Amino acid sequence: MQYNPGWHNSSVNLLHVRAVGPNDTLHFVWSSIGAPAVLLVATESRSSVLRLNWTRLLSPAPAGAVWIDPPSSVVYSTAVVFTKVFEYSEAQTREELFYPTYDLADFSWDSVNRTLNHTALTAEFTGTPATGSGDSFSNGSLAFRVTAYEAGGRDVPLPSLLHTANSSKVEFVLAGVAPRGNSSRFALEVATVEETGVVQKLRSARSIDDEYTPTVFETLSLVAESRNASSVLSFLQWKATAYGSQTPRREDSIQCRSRGLQAANWTLPASSIVHAYFGEGLGSTFTVSAINISFGGEDGKVYQEKRFLRWSALLGFGQSPEDTFSPLVISITAVALGTPLAMLLLGSCLLLFARRKRYSDYEPIN
């Protein structure tokens, strides 16, 4: 993990996570320049490196300021951008009342270097609106917590996401932000950038097994597939829940919904790390899509009470991890279903045996 490689000023944030495999390298480039974003680049070289032109990157025209060397080693690249936070409430007429939008490109971000943990492989981007926030952020903040992984496993805190070494986790956190309505709900706009020929799909997987995330039976994945659907190139995956506590329990669950995937070439900030890497091809050579992820129950009172919201998502390369039944659940299911079946079979055998053992009214000759 490298913070602002080649730059000795903490007024901006760029975090480079480099994962080297047997025959390839994965690059995760997180940044709050322009808007919070992560650039994902997969290369087929163990020696590929990130190059930055800081002068151009911090200029109004950053195209070409970020690249991977050697360029020929790049086999796939994509980006995820967190562009806006919406706050809204539902009026008595069942219509949604929207308050002024929080544009994350206009936020002021603290230095990530103060939260960087090279042992736990974590960092935190914490920001507040630069202007015009009123009293909402006087005692609150918005943050994106980043976690990298060296191996596969499962997170301990809810929602206990299953991860691989090819993935990283991001947590969206609202803490202490005063709502502007009596039943305010929040929604996060997430934009993605893909090469032409790559198809994005929103998938929903439901399971009766809620062992790792109690009362939550749905997992959503925004996947990027090759045009012929022969392989999954990248994913953004999350459980259909958020939590209203720093140490979440089942009762702290907040309903999470996804509102349609749509083309959104208009939604990216004018200058960002995404423009620095993809250049002027955004909207032509590269396509931009967006999805809104909303948080809040039917009445939106969970956040009102605790003023804390945390949503976790996993992003990475290749096929997204899939939960399977654990040996414990399989054992319990086998006992629950097997015991009645065994009793039924035993009863049937006893009944057949009793029917075959008939008694006669005739006396034996001898």
How confident is the model over 73-90, as pLDDT tens digits? 999 999 999 999 999 987
Taking the CA atoms of 267, 270, 275 and 279 in sequence, report the sign of the dihedral they define.
positive
Euclidean distance between CA atoms 34 and 84, whole angstroms: 12
For 82-112, the pLDDT digits (tens) are 999 999 987 665 677 899 999 999 999 999 9
Chain centroid offset of residue 258 CA = 12
pLDDT in tens, 183-205: 889 999 999 999 888 999 999 99
The sign of the CA dihedral 261, 266, 269, 274 is positive
Residue 344: band (very low, low, confident or very high) from pLDDT cuts 50, 70, 90 = confident
User: In the chain, what percentage of residues exceed pLDDT 90?
Assistant: 63
pLDDT of residue 149: 96
**CA–CA distance, 262 with 290 (Å, rounded to integer):** 6
0.95 exceeded by pTM: no
CA-angle at 159, arms to 157 and 160, nearest 5°:
60
